[in-house]
Structure 1
Amino acid sequence: MAACTSVSATPSAQTSPQYHDGKFHNPVPVRQYSVGEMARLWWKAMVDKPAGTIPKGKIPVRALTRADLLAAPDNTLYRLGHSTMLIKLAGEFYLTDPVFSDRASPVQWAGPARFHAPPIGIEQLPPIKAVILSHDHYDHLDHAAVKALAAKTEVFLTPLGVGDRLVEWGVDAAKVRQFDWWQETKVGAVRLVATPARHFSGRTPFDRDSTLWASWVILHDDLRVFFSGDSGYFKGFKEIGAKYGPFDVALVETGAYDKMWPEVHMQPEETLQAFTDLNAGWLLPIHNGTFDLGLHRWQDPFDRIAVLAQEKNVRLTTPEMGEALDLKRPHAGQAWWRSVD
C-alpha cells in the first residue's frame, strides 16, 4: 500500500510515479482509441443518439440562498448538479468540481447544455474555504466558474498539473495546492487526501493526460466522505476503503457510462461494487442528472442503481438538487427523477 504524505509545496509532475513518457498514466492502462474509432464515437454522440438522453420535463431544484447556507448545521451537503457538491464542515464551505456554466464545453454556444439551473449562483455563495478538483474535463473544471470563485476562495486543491491551468487563468498561485495520489493536506479543520482514480485528462485533442486525475477523501472529526470524481472500476477502491474507511457517505459516479468506454466510467453494477470495496454506509450516486454526456436515457443511472441497491440492501440517498443532506444521518430521498419525462 502506498504511503500517504503531506504536501507543503507543489510537487513536480516529473517526480510522480504516474508520470513518464511526457504524460500521466493509469497503473493498468486504458484503451487508446484510433482516429477512426474516435470519429465513430463522435458521430454516435453527435448525430446518432438514442431518444431520451435529455429530459422533456423540468428537473426539480430547491433554490438556495446565502442565508440558508449560513444557517445550516455542520456536516450538511447540497448537491448543486452533476459532480458539484457544496459541503459545510466546521462552519466553512468546501466545493467539489464546480460547474455553473450553461454548457460543459469549451464554448457556450455549443456542447452539452444543463438540464437545470444551479440551486444558487456563485455570487450568492458565502466564502469558500476550499475548491476540490478531481480533473480538468469540461464537466468538472469550468473556466468561468473558477474565475468567478477565485476572489472568494481561500484555496484550490487539484491533482498535479490542474493547478497550473488555474494559475494560467489568473488564480493567485499562493491559493493553489497540487497533489499526487496518496498526498494530503489540511485546510481549516478538514483533512483532505488525493486518492487514485482510473480515468484520463485533457481539454483539447492535443493535451491528453498532460494533467493528473484523482478521487478525494474528506475527513473531519469522525466524519469520513469519499468523492470519486470520474473513474472506471479498479482495485484502487478496495485500497482506499482499507486505508480510510469505513466512510459515512461515498459519492460515486453513476452516469455517462457506455460499453464503448468501459475503462473510464463505471456501469451501475461497478458503481455498487466500488461502494462495497470502499466500505461505506451510504451511497450517493453523482455524475448524472445535469448534462447529456452518455448514450443512455437520462434517468437510467438513477433507475439502475436504485434497483441494484434494493437488491443488495445498500442504503442509497438521492437528494434533489439543492436539498440538504445530513452526512452523519443521511435520508434516502425521493425517486424524484421518476416524475420527470
Structure 2
Amino acid sequence: MLIAAFCFLLASASLLYLRQPQFASPVVVDRTYIAPYHSGVFHNTVPAPILANSDGLLTAWIKFLTNKIPEATPDFALPSEKTDLHALDKESNVMVWMGHSSYFIQLDGVRFLVDPVFSDNASPVPYTNLAFEGSNIYQAEDIPEVDYLLITHDHWDHLDHPSVVAVREKVAQAITPIGVGSYLTQWGYDESKVFEGDWYDSFEQGQLQIHILPAQHFSGRLLKRNQTLWGSFALIMPKHKVYIGGDSGYGDHFRQIHARLGAFDVAILEAGQYNENWRHIHMMPEETVQATLDLQAKAMIPAHNSKFKLSKHAWHEPLERISELSHDANFRLMTPMIGQVMWLDDEQQNFERWWQQ
C-alpha cells in the first residue's frame, strides 16, 4: 500500500512538473520545406544516426553513465574576465563568449545575443548537467538591449527557458529555425518580433543579412525528436561576415555554404561534447578544423565547451586538441576566456592557453 501511494505521488508530481512552460510543445505548419520534412519530423539531408555504432540506445546510455573519465570536470573555478557589456561602445566590433555556445556580438552598431544560457544547469532534470564552477558569470541583467536574439535549435543547452524569458523585454527581434520560434511566442514573445526560417531563408534589415543555414544535427527537448528544425546562421554586413555553426556533425553543407555566401571573417564552430559514437551529429576536433577550411574562414572560435559536461572527454581536451590541430592551419584560432572581449578588427590580439593554468 505504501509503495502504491509513493508511486502515485511520484507520478502526480512528475505530471505537475511537466506542465511547466519550459516543456511546451512546438508548433510547426505541415507543409513542404527546403529542409527534408515528412511524417511530422525534420531530417538531415544525408542519413545521420545519433549513434555511429551498433549499440542500442539503452546500452549506449549505460556505457555513457558508467564509464568514468579522468578530469571530466575541472576541480577548480575556471578563470574568466567578465566584461561590462553595458559599457561597451556600441560602435566597436566585438564578441564576448559566455561559455558553451552563448555569445554576445556587436557588428557595425548592431547587437546580437546567441543561444543564451544563464541557468546553472543544462537539463530538464534539476541539479544535473551543472555548469562548471566559475563558468556561469553572466546573468540576464548583464545583457544590454539587443537587436537580435538568435537560437540555433531547441536543445536545453541552447534554448533555456528562464534565460530567454529574462531577456525578453531587451530583444527587438528573434530569429530561429522553423518551429523554435513557437516556443518563444508561447513564452510571451510578441509574434511580430519572432522570425522563423527554413534553411537558406534570410532576414534582411538595411545592410544586414541574417541567413538561416543547414546543420547536421537533430532536435527535441523531451522524448519526441526532430519536430523542429536545427540550423546555423550567417551574419553578413558590408564590413563583416560571421558564421555561427550551432551544433553539427561534419558534412558537405560547409562547402555548400561557402559556395553560396563566400568566405567568412570568423566562424564559431562546435569543438566539444564530441564522441566517436556521435560523430554524425557532433564534430570531432579534426572535423572542426576541416569545416573551418571548407568555409574558408580567416579565424575560428571553438564553442560548445568549458561549461557543461555532456560527453566523455576531459573538460580541457577540446581546447587542447583544437589548438594542436590548428597550429599550422591557414586560419587564426581564437580561444578567449569566458567573458573576455574579442576585438574583431584587431587581428593581432593574442589569447592565452588559459585552460592550462
So what's the TM-score if we normalise by structure 2?
Answer: 0.87
Question: Could you tell me which amino acid in structure 2 is paired with residue 113 of structure 1?
Answer: A
> How far is 1:67 from its partner?
3.8
Distance 1:44 1:189, change over 3 A: farther
Partner of 1:283: 300
In structure 2, what is the Cα distance between the partners aligned to 1:32 and 1:284? 25
- Give SS of 1:144's match: helix
Question: Could you tell me which amino acid in structure 1 is paired with residue 229 of structure 2?
Answer: L
Question: Could you tell me which amino acid in structure 1 is paired with residue 313 of structure 2?
Answer: H
Unpaired segments ≥5 residues, structure 1:
1-9
Partner of 2:180: 162
> How far is 1:12 from its partner?
4.3
Measured against aligned partners, the alpha-carbon deviations of 1:278-312 in whole angstroms (never above 9, x if no partner) come to 01101111111111011011111111111111133
2:99 is the counterpart of 1:81: yes
Distance 1:103 1:306, change over 3 A: same
> How far is 1:44 from its partner?
2.9
Q: Determine which of 225, 237, 256 is the counterpart of 1:239.
A: 256
Q: Determine which of 269, 277, 284 is the counterpart of 1:252.
A: 269
2:87 is the counterpart of 1:53: no
> How far is 1:139 from its partner?
0.6
> How far is 1:72 from its partner?
5.6
> How far is 1:229 from its partner?
0.1
Partner of 2:16: none
Unpaired segments ≥5 residues, structure 2:
1-26
RMSD: 2.1
> How far is 1:142 from its partner?
0.4
Map residues 164-243 of structure 1 onto 2, 5 A cutoff: 164-187=182-205, 189-205=207-223, 207-243=224-260
Preserved CA contact (<8 Å) 1:283 1:314 = yes
Distance 1:165 1:46, change over 3 A: same
> How far is 1:146 from its partner?
1.0
- Give SS of 1:247's match: coil
Map residues 14-33 of structure 1 onto 2, 5 A cutoff: 14-17=31-34, 18-31=36-49
- Give SS of 2:328's match: helix
Distance 1:128 1:263, change over 3 A: same
- Give SS of 1:15's match: coil
Measured against aligned partners, the alpha-carbon deviations of 1:185-221 in whole angstroms (never above 9, x if no partner) come to 024652100011000000011x200000001001121
Map residues 130-141 of structure 1 onto 2, 5 A cutoff: 130-141=148-159
> How far is 1:111 from its partner?
3.0
- Give SS of 2:255's match: helix
Q: Determine which of 260, 279, 290 is the counterpart of 1:273.
A: 290
> How far is 1:313 from its partner?
4.5
Q: Percent identity?
A: 37
In structure 1, what is the Cα distance between the partners aligned to 2:30 and 2:181? 11
Distance 1:105 1:254, change over 3 A: same
Preserved CA contact (<8 Å) 1:83 1:287 = yes
In structure 2, what is the Cα distance between the partners aligned to 1:171 and 1:35? 42
So what's the TM-score if we normalise by structure 1?
Answer: 0.91
Preserved CA contact (<8 Å) 1:76 1:326 = yes
Question: Could you tell me which amino acid in structure 2 is paired with residue 131 of structure 1?
Answer: L
Preserved CA contact (<8 Å) 1:11 1:179 = no
Distance 1:190 1:210, change over 3 A: same
Preserved CA contact (<8 Å) 1:94 1:132 = yes
In structure 2, what is the Cα distance between the partners aligned to 1:88 and 1:21? 40
In structure 2, what is the Cα distance between the partners aligned to 1:12 and 1:286? 32
In structure 1, what is the Cα distance between the partners aligned to 2:50 and 2:291? 24
Q: Determine which of 106, 123, 142 is the counterpart of 1:105.
A: 123
In structure 2, what is the Cα distance between the partners aligned to 1:20 and 1:139? 26
Preserved CA contact (<8 Å) 1:112 1:293 = no
Measured against aligned partners, the alpha-carbon deviations of 1:227-280 in whole angstroms (never above 9, x if no partner) come to 100000000000111222211111110011101111000000000000000011
2:37 is the counterpart of 1:37: no
In structure 1, what is the Cα distance between the partners aligned to 2:257 and 2:345? 20
> How far is 1:323 from its partner?
0.9
